[in-house]
Amino acid sequence: MTTIILAAQTAAQGGGGMGFLIMMIALFAIMWFFMIRPQQKRQKQIQAFQNAIQVGTSVIIGSGIYGTVKSVDHASGKVEVEIAHGVVVTVDKNAVFQAGAPQQ
């Protein structure tokens, strides 16, 4: 935090325009490495799971309801999930997530 204040003071004095630019680039690189990159990696894992859903897989529907996949129609993107004995709901494939997936 103090480096940001010092860089801002130096830039205000008129002599640190290049140093401030380098610091901003470094800050963006750190933010990308710790925030954006892991989120993109997690999205790819979710997408791979949704494309490989099979009958009998335990899943969580986007609303937080646990169930078991009864049928999958990849062409239309619909998945039938049994949420209770004899209760089957049809949901979009993008609303289905892996049950017990580790959070990162």
- The answer for 30, left when phi > 0, alpha when psi is -120 to 50, beta otherwise, is alpha
* 3-state secondary structure at position 10: helix
pLDDT per residue as tens digits for the range 18-37: 888 899 999 988 888 888 88
Is a pLDDT exceeding 90 seen at residue 100? no
d(CA 89, CA 68): 10
d(CA 31, CA 52): 31
pLDDT per residue as tens digits for the range 76-99: 989 999 999 999 999 999 999 988
pTM of the complete model: 0.64
The vertex-26 CA angle with 22 and 31, nearest 5°, equals 150
